[in-house]
Amino acid sequence: MEIGIIGLGKMGMNLALNLKDHQYNIRGMDISTKALAEAELHGIPAFTSLPEFIQSYSSKRIVWSMLPAGELTESTLQELLVLLNPGDIVIEGGNSNYKDSIRRAKAFKEKDIAYLDCGTSGGISGARNDACLMIGGDKEVFDSVENLFKDIAVEDGYLYAGPSGSGHFLKMVHNGIEYGMMQAIGEGFQLVEESGFNFDLEKVARVWNHGSVIRGWLMEIAEEQFSKEPHLETYKGVVASSGEAKWTVEAALELNIPVPTIALSLFMRNLSQEEDNFSLKVVSALRNGFGGHDIVQK
């Protein structure tokens, strides 16, 4: 099975390596010379031109896009509409708005090209070894490539979500929940940090992650980050908002469903652009820990 990854950034490169480990015939496409050099280092053919990338296939094409949501994804998919043949499959794994995925699926269907929207979670380590995948699109198309998702996902870590848009809808809500969880962890550690008790935050995170109700991967990341910097000295409490929580709140408003925790966590990220506090340093450290997101340093 020939699979090409468009976008060899942190997620795309690790996904390509995951697929290569499972004996898939992999190629990549990116305009970054650094990404191309890394791909070559791992024995993955890579191209800077989309037409050359598409022409490198010798059989049915499966093209997996891991580009940032927005104009770059839109323009690339528009070009693929022209370059691909009927029967080819596009998997869109970026954090696109589910409404865009519904629209794009219709456009590809008119050309008899299959389109699956694939919400991808698990951060860099998940992409490399054990991804969590939520897939929307035509069920028959999903069935034809189900083993692909099964191979690269953690056990029980992939789901056929339903028709086009459903995969990205689930990932959108997932990220909204993630915002709320990280904000709660950040606020809790700010209370601990400023309590006057001189707690060792690494040890606090460790004990909370062993048997407590709030144990989990985010707490593991907190422990790891505090082990590197006990008080997150070089972090600045400025946390970017990448769009999914905003879309989650907008969808909730359309459905008249209250989501106050998610909404407030989104507003706190907006507020972080103006002021610096410890809870947002924790959120920034957590995002860096699981996704390799850039941090703003003092």
Catalytic residue among 171, 187, 246, 281: 171
> Quick one: DSSP state of residue 259?
-
Residues 6+ apart with CB under 8 A from 187: 279
Residues 6+ apart with CB under 8 A from 201: 189, 192, 193, 222, 226, 230, 231
CB burial of residue 224 (10 Å; 0-12, 13-18, 19+): middle
φ/ψ (deg, to 5) at 291: -120, 0
Asked about 150 being catalytic, the answer comes back as no
Residue with tokens 């037409």: 51
Whether residue 269 contacts residue 179, with contact meaning beta carbons closer than 8 Å, is answered with: yes
HSE value, Cβ hemisphere, 13 Å, CA-based, for 121: 22
Token pair belonging to 15: 């996904």
Asked about 178 being catalytic, the answer comes back as yes
Catalytic residue among 38, 92, 99, 178: 178
- Rounded to whole angstroms, what are the CA distances from 1 to 109, 144, 168, 246? 22, 11, 25, 37
192-197: long-range contacts, CB 8 A cutoff, minimum separation 24 = 193/231, 193/278, 194/278
Q: Choose among 211, 283, 208: nearest CA to 245.
A: 283
Rounded Cα gap, residues 283 and 16, in angstroms: 28
Rounded Cα gap, residues 251 and 177, in angstroms: 14
Whether residue 182 contacts residue 287, with contact meaning beta carbons closer than 8 Å, is answered with: yes
Residues noted as catalytic: 171, 178
